[in-house]
Every structure is written in C-alpha cells, then in structure tokens.
Structure 1
C-alpha cells in the first residue's frame, strides 16, 4: 500500500488535500459511519481500507497491485491509531458545513397577495409588493424572519422559541398573537397593529444594546415608528380596518394624495404621477375589490381632481383639488 492511505489522511487533516482526495476521505468516512463497529477483527481491518485503496488507484490511473497480507495489516493498524484524530477532523468539517445558513426569499409582486404556512404552523399573509426572508434553520433553535412590505401574522406561540420579525431597524417579537406589520421602505415608517394577544417592539442600538419601545402592545393598539427622526408613538386603532386588505378592501385612512399614490401603485401594479399642488384635503374612504378607474372616479367626485390612464401609468392632476380649508 506504500503508505498512500496514511499520507492521504495526513493531507486531509492538515487541509492540504485537493478536492478529489477530500472526496475520497469523506466518502470513506460516510460509508464507515453506516457500518461502524466497536471491535474489528483482522479480516475486517484489511477490508476496511480496500475501497480507499481502490479509489487512490483510480485517481492515480495505476493498475491494481497484489497486496501482501501482513504489510496491509500493519499499515491499517497504523492508520487506525490516528483514526480518532482524523474522524474528529471529518466530523468537525461536516458540522461546520451543516451549520451554514441559507435563506429563502418569498416576494409578492405588486397587484398580488400570497398566503404562507411556516414550518412551525404559523401563517403569514403577504400584501402586494412585499417580501419575507426565512432562514434554513427556522424553528430549529429559534424562529426569526425578515420582512419588507406588509404582512399579517398568525403565530403559533412557543415560549421556548419566540417568533421575531426583523423589519427595518425594529425587532418585533410575538408574545402569543395575531398582528399586522407594515414596513415598506419608501414609506420611512413601520406600523405594528395587534388584533389579538401581545407584541413586544424594540430595536438594537449601534452599540449592540436592545432598546425597548413597547413591552406589550395589545388588541386594537398600534405602534408607529418614524425612521426619519427615530421616534415612535402608540395609539388606539381599529385593527379590523388595518387588516381589511386581506379581504381585498382598499382603505384610505385620513390619507393625503401623497400617501394614496403609493397605495394605488402597490394595489393595482400601476405607476402614479401627481401633477400640481399637494395641499389637498385628507380622505377616509374604502373600496371593496374595485378596479382602479372606479376608485379614481370616486376620488374625482370627492376631491375635484382629474386623471388619465395610459399603459398602466396613472396621472392625477391636483390643480383643482379641494384644499385643506
């Protein structure tokens, strides 16, 4: 055997083995783990290394040579002494590979919505133009996801594995609840509204310390975090109105046209351009699964605007809109 197996183990342990050599060693270990015994007799010790020797021959393109029994056994015994060290190295490498975390990104285009069932039985309903990122180790030791956009969560409570959402600068942790998170990056605000149960909200400061904003937001309460000035406020809210989008109800709540425009863009997958002054009144109105032109016709009567639609581009003229007075 010419010490080839021993040298191969040494190269593997010192991380000097090439890709083909590493595959030979790791394949051998994987096969060994399936059939490993506490004690090996002499015949088994010889047979133990035969597949590896064959693999080395194939790699080197050399013909198979006759093996002298005693010499093979002696070499095998030497390698078995170092077996524990190399096996540790192999297992450490395998563990390191297994610990690499990958992510699944699920995004919903504008004009669409999507329902998800997570591995722990929790459900997520994503609104238009939203995305959620789920790690491969979700529900192993923890339950953490990242959200951009808006989603409604119904969480299976597990005190040992709190459900945490990373959204912008905020960390939103479930305390056994159903709640809505709205965090579109272009809005520069994050809204957390609770339908049932409790939610904790805070953020990690630059020094790594956690800053708590609310220990327990409860039913029909909403926290609004303003990214512009790093402020937050908690106020009463009718959560059933906040989450009405799940039933395809488009709602404007004391909204200006500057706030209405991005809602229309996400809801109908159109581009909205505003022309003229923006100091118009604010409007509270709801629409039940109606097409965009019906919505704009209603806003025309309410606000005195005019509009045009061409190739999914909506132009709203605010010149004659009713002002704030």
Structure 2
C-alpha cells in the first residue's frame, strides 16, 4: 500500500488492479481515508516523521515496518533523512509515515511501555488560512497568524486541543468524550457544535462566539479556594475572558461578522479603528503605529481580503475621519482626520 500511495504522490498512473486495491483499502476503514489525506500533506507527513524520531533504537524501527508488513529499507531512515531535503526523500517518507501511523495506532506504546500521544502543530502565516481535519472527524479552520496543537488520535475520556490566534470549529458530536479547547486563559467545553474562538495575544480578551449547539466557557485557571466560574452560551452569543476582569456575561453578536474571515471578507459593524488595524496587521503582515488618538473613530463596511491593502486603506480614508502613511519598512502610520 505504501508503494501505491507513493505512486499517487508522484502523479504516476495506477493500473486497474492497483486502483481497485486502493479503493478496497479506503473502503475497508474510515480512518484510512484520513490517513491518505495526512500522507498527501507535506506538513502532516513532516509531523509524522518527527514523531517517529522518538523511536531511536534499531529494533523499534524494525518493529514499525514489521507492523506494516513492509520490508525494512536497506538504508537506515534516521541516518539519511533530513527535514530540509523532504522532497528528495519523499518515497522513504511515505513508507515511514505510513509505518509510524500504524505502529502507533496498533501498539499505543513508547519505549518504556507507557501510553503514547503524538501531537501535531499546524500554524498559519499572516495572510494565510488553513483547514485541519481531526481524528474524530471534527473540522477546524485556522485564521491568519494562528496555530493549533492537537493529538494524532484522541485517547482517554476527552478530546483536547489548544489554539493561538483565531479558529472556527465544527465539532463531531460525542457525548461520551467532551471536546475541550484551550486558548490563552480560557477553556471551552463542547459535545458537538460550531463556534469561533479568537485568542490573539494583542487583543485584550479571548472571545468565544457560538453559532450552533451549546458550549460551556470558563477560565483556564482559577484562584485557589475559589469556586470555578463558567458560562453556558446560546447560539448567537459571545463571551469574553480577560486576564484582568475575568469572565464576562454573554452578549448577543452578529455571528456573520465574527466569522467573515472564513469567507475571505473583512466585515466591520461600528468597529473601532484600532481593532480594524489589528486585523489588517495580521492579514497583510504590516506594523501599525499611531500619530494621534483614534479610539473613538468607528467604521462599518465590508471588503474582500483579496484586495490590495491600499484599496482597504483608501476606503477607510474616504470617511475623512482618518488617513494613513506607509513607510519603507511596511509600517502604516495611522493619523486622525483627513489630509
């Protein structure tokens, strides 16, 4: 099977018998489809290789290939593979990634016999978005300048992930295994639902917005001796968790404004200029400086994130409430009033 997947990665045509073998393998187990997606993704495959490097004994490597039913490569993988030469070693990486996946799922053990949890981290750069499929079928969309850390497979009584930045979740329902999201000092507990978590470090609070279902939001850490405080959200509500004032009461919000980034849009509704500029900085990878007070200036409107940054700044300038100057080092200076 590793050889067939390698042929697919190299865009080599499969024979009819090979196509049938691949189809039978995919249909035999739902997790095989996810495995194929993982192995076709460079970032995921790199993460699998990094996980495999934990097993640095020769007999462990041999056991991995034995579990797969593949012959041990003549050249030792650890001695020859370097992360910087990923493409040159693609065929061997497929074998290693496939073998390590099955070995970890079948044995669930580490070198000392304890349970093994392999974590992956996926990050987005400014101006990027990324969809992540979790082992339970839940989907996560990462906004720009964000990251998620999650296990390759969910073990135990909960499904736990951690994010920075902003992410939209569509969680597969499982009443026996709650889904937990940690973001800064907030923790969100759900069973199956759709919600958005915004937890950028330059924001004054972590905000959780519910679109469907129900979620319980609390502080990640509480003061010793104090009863834990939580809030249950209804669809269309948002709650904030700040380090200074703690957990807020739910408020109604326009969810389409909160999740507009998923549709490739900037959408503002009486949004203050500093908040707008933070979004611009994350998407266009620019620095922001202020030459005067602009906190009381607000703007409503919508524009595609595909537009050039100058187009967006021109629209804001047309309000004649604020204008901008761009320096040579990609710094935008925000100045109140018109030119």
Superposed pair shares fold, TM > 0.5: yes
1:96 Cα offset (Å): 4.2
Q: Could you report, residue by residue, the CA deviation over 1:220-266 in whole angstroms, capped at 9, with x for unpaired residues?
A: 11112222222412111121221111011112333222222211111
1:168 Cα offset (Å): 1.2
1:160 Cα offset (Å): 1.0
Inter-partner Cα distance in structure 2 for 1:95 and 1:137: 19
Cα RMSD for the two superposed structures: 3.3
Inter-partner Cα distance in structure 2 for 1:173 and 1:208: 22
Judge conservation of contact 1:202–1:210 (CA < 8 Å) in 2. no
Query: Larger radius of gyration, structure 1 or 2?
Result: 1
Inter-partner Cα distance in structure 1 for 2:125 and 2:201: 15
Candidates 292, 304, 309, aligned match of 2:321: 304
| Superposed counterparts of 1:171-320, under 5 Å | 171-203=187-219, 204-207=221-224, 211-214=228-231, 216-289=232-305, 290-311=307-328, 313-320=330-337
Inter-partner Cα distance in structure 2 for 1:160 and 1:207: 29
Candidates 180, 189, 194, aligned match of 1:164: 180
Tell me, what secondary structure is at the counterpart of 1:195?
strand
Q: Which runs of 5+ in 2 are unaligned?
A: 1-56, 68-106
Judge conservation of contact 2:208–2:240 (CA < 8 Å) in 1. yes
Judge conservation of contact 2:185–2:242 (CA < 8 Å) in 1. no
Q: Which runs of 5+ in 1 are unaligned?
A: 1-22, 35-90
Q: Could you report, residue by residue, the CA deviation over 1:148-196 in whole angstroms, capped at 9, with x for unpaired residues?
A: 1100000001011111001111110113211111011121311111111
Q: TM-score, normalised by structure 2?
A: 0.63
Inter-partner Cα distance in structure 1 for 2:129 and 2:241: 24
Q: 1:160 to 1:208 in 2, by over 3 A?
A: farther
The aligned residue for residue 36 of structure 2 is none
The aligned residue for residue 12 of structure 2 is none
Inter-partner Cα distance in structure 1 for 2:202 and 2:331: 19
Inter-partner Cα distance in structure 2 for 1:231 and 1:219: 18
The aligned residue for residue 115 of structure 1 is 131
